[in-house]
Amino acid sequence: MINYQELPPGWGNDSLSKYLEQAYKNTLASFVNLRTEYQVLHDIVNSFGKIIDHIQKTEDLYYSFFIMRVQCSFMGSISLALAGQTFETYLVLRGCLEVSLYGLYISQSPKRLQIWLNREKNEEKKERCKKTFSAYNTLECLRKIDNETFCIAQKLYDLTIDLGAHPNATGVLSAIKACKDEKAVVYKTHCLAAGDTQMMLSLKTCAQVGVCSLQIFKNIFPQKFDILGISEDLNRLKAGL
């Protein structure tokens, strides 16, 4: 925890530490004022923890690596969203979906695991891995297994690209405002939003991507998700999204 009586000398005196300070204050404000949204995100993180704690004690070790990576990325996206870094949130959320899709794709073929593990051996193996693990291939794998989740994942994947995962106009221009005075028009961009519609959308998208990622992993461990109560968690969480 930060003790404001023990902040290091110079903190807040330069542009970067001022930015970091404001991001932290935004996070605290979101924690206090957006309790419903925060609780949903907290519950999703806990659901990730349930399956990770279980599969680390089984033979499904490689799959635990993917789920742990998604959980970490998911918490990173929450950190960005709570601080008001809306554009950057979508960059990380796209990664959550991609890692989840990789996990499912590999689970369907031991051969794919070897292609993934050997990616850096040489250029030929790297190119083979890139072609094998294309967005189309991983999404198509999900479609064949779970079409309902595929439809959601595809929409969320496209949404993250529209709003920040790629530098498309919708995402880039969403944080830019034109300010006119008597002499000129000045364009400003805000790095940190606080409580506006863009921030609320990013928090909702975080929750949707978190639930979707868990739903993707459920296709690998359906019985474990039922036994651990995660399937019940997902049904409750989906109802509010």
Q: What are the structure tokens assigned to 151, written together?
A: 């439809």
The pLDDT of residue 80? 96
pLDDT at site 131: 96
Asked, for residue 12, whether it belongs to a domain, the answer is no
Contacts of 17 (CB under 8 A, 6+ apart): 10, 11
pLDDT score recorded for residue 194: 72
Q: Is residue 171 part of a domain?
A: yes
Q: Which string of DSSP letters, residue by residue, matches 114-182? A: HHHHTTTS-HHHHHHHHHHT-HHHHHHHHHHH-HHHHHHHHHHHHHHIIIIIS--HHHHHTTEEEEE-S
Q: Which two tokens stand for residue 238?
A: 């989906």
What pLDDT, in 10s, does the model give residues 78-113?
999 999 999 899 999 999 999 999 999 999 998 999
d(CA 17, CA 196): 23
**Is 45 inside any structural domain?**
yes
Q: Looking at the 3D structure of the chain, how many domains does it have? A: 1
Residue 21 in domain = no
Answer yes or no: are the C-beta atoms of 88 and 144 closer than 8 Å: no
In a domain, 187, yes or no: yes
Among 112, 93, 92, 114, which residue's Cα sits nearest to residue 104? 112
**Residue 44, Cβ neighbours under 10 Å: how many?**
25
Please tell me the predicted confidence (pLDDT) of residue 2.
58
Whole-angstrom distance, CA of residue 221 vs CA of residue 154: 21
Please indicate, yes or no, if residue 9 is contained in any of the structural domains: no
Per-residue confidence (pLDDT) for residue 189, from 0 to 100: 67
Range of the domain at 140: 27-239
Which residues in the chain land under pLDDT 70?
Answer: 1-5, 58-60, 173, 175-176, 178, 185-189, 195
Residue 4 maps to a domain: no
Any domain includes 10: no
Three-state SS for 167-181 is CCHHHHHCCEEEEEC
